[in-house]
């Protein structure tokens, strides 16, 4: 966990919402110089911090509406840091919780040097990352619609429809007519119409995001695609979720951020299981999980290694080990700017993986 420990004359903690923000500013002695609720507008924020902005640091929790505040502070040359919401137990664990108290606790954490940091993703690539996330959301919704059609076939014990995922699988077929009940057919047709709408939309988004990736970081994108199992979609997801590999001091930090490892709970020399499963990037976790399955598909050498891991650890643990090693490989590939070396990947031991 990274914390913010720089010293300033004033510390501004903000409990931020969509329409309002509760601002608390402390001086270097911990005395409140401002503690007031304001509407969420750039003008209101700038007027509130104007007397203290010469040596001021601003922060808020990592909630959905932090973008505009971070961009405004960058524009005005005001230091801005983002708080990691899941680490801020001082705020979430107290008896009395309201906006006024939360803003004060945020400011005190910041002043005390115990403020847990989240990454402030730069505005230049932030919108493309969010577009990629939305694209993946559409793909999952489309997959749910296809699965619903197949599940409905099983629900009414009808003959299997076969493949439906691709447009040519559905072309020139009366899929809705496969269901005797016309109301069920109407429901299935609604699913099919929605799928047909998603297909060209997703295809166009892929084209646009790929063009943007070639502008932002084409070298990293091509390096990622050198990994068997990582194609354009997974490569784009990993590229935009990482942004800059140099923000991770070690491969352990990167694997932790990608949710490829879990934290240990220990006390008095005893282990109490794992923790921190929700802390990290869920999109990177998904990408490396998918890449692991695709990497193993049709790869005889990798399957041999996978089977050895299964005999020792079981299937689930074996997949997790390979996903972690893929994450380690990607970390060093991007650090050293070199493509994937499968021979080295399959033959390195866990100790050699750190070199």
**What pLDDT does residue 92 have?**
67
Rounded mean pLDDT of 66-80?
96
**What is the average pLDDT score of the chain?**
91
Rounded-to-integer distance, Cα 124 and Cα 279, Å? 25
Number of Cβ atoms within 10 Å of the Cβ of 178 = 18
Percent of the chain topping pLDDT 70 = 96
What does the pLDDT look like over 233-281, one tens digit per residue? Answer: 999 999 999 999 999 999 999 999 999 988 888 888 888 877 777 789 9
**What pLDDT does residue 276 have?**
73
3-state DSSP assignment of residue 19: coil
Rounded-to-integer distance, Cα 218 and Cα 212, Å? 9
**What pLDDT does residue 95 have?**
75
Three-state secondary structure string covering 314-342: CHHHHHHHHHHHHHHHHHHHHHHCCCCCH
3-state DSSP assignment of residue 155: helix
pLDDT greater than 70 at residue 315 = yes
What does the pLDDT look like over 124-152, one tens digit per residue? Answer: 899 999 999 999 999 999 999 999 999 99
Classify domain 3-120 at the CATH class level.
alpha beta
Split at pLDDT 50, 70, 90, the class of 323 is very high
Closest CA to 293 of 308, 311, 306: 306
Domain ranges for the chain, please list them: 3-120, 124-216, 224-264+279-354
Split at pLDDT 50, 70, 90, the class of 348 is low
pLDDT greater than 50 at residue 162 = yes
pTM of structure: 0.88
């Amino acid at each position: 966990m990274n914390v913010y420990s720089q010293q300033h004359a004033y510390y501004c903690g903000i409990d931020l919402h969509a329409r309002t923000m509760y601002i608390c500013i402390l001086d270097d002695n911990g005395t409140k110089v401002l503690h007031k609720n304001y509407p969420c507008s750039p003008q209101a924020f700038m007027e509130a911090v104007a007397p203290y902005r010469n040596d001021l640091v601003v922060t808020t929790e990592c909630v959905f509406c932090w973008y505009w505040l971070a961009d405004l502070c960058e524009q005005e040359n005001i230091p801005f840091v983002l708080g990691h919401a899941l680490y801020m137990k001082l705020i979430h664990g107290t008896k009395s919780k309201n906006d006024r108290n939360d803003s004060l606790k945020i400011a005190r954490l910041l002043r005390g040097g115990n403020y847990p940091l989240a990454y402030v993703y730069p505005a230049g690539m932030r919108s493309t990352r969010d577009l990629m996330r939305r694209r993946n959301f559409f793909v999952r919704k489309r997959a749910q619609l296809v699965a619903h059609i197949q599940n409905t076939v099983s629900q009414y014990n009808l003959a299997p429809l076969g493949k439906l995922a691709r447009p040519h699988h559905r072309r020139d077929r009366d899929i809705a007519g496969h269901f005797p009940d016309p109301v069920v057919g109407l429901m299935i047709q609604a699913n099919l119409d929605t799928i047909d709408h998603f297909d060209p939309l997703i295809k166009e988004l892929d084209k646009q995001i790929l063009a943007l990736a070639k502008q932002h970081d084409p070298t990293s994108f091509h390096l990622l695609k050198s990994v068997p199992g990582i194609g354009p979609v997974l490569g784009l997801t990993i590229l935009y979720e990482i942004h800059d590999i140099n923000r991770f001091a070690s491969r352990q930090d990167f694997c932790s951020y990608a949710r490829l490892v879990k934290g240990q709970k220990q006390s008095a020399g005893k282990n109490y299981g794992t923790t921190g499963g929700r802390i990290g990037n869920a999109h990177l976790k998904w990408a490396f999980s998918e890449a692991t399955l695709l990497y193993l598909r049709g790869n005889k050498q990798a399957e041999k290694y996978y089977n050895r891991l299964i005999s020792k650890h079981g299937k689930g643990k074996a997949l997790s080990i390979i996903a972690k090693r893929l994450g380690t490989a990607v970390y060093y590939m991007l650090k050293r700017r070199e493509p994937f070396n499968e021979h080295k990947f399959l033959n390195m031991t866990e100790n050699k993986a750190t070199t």
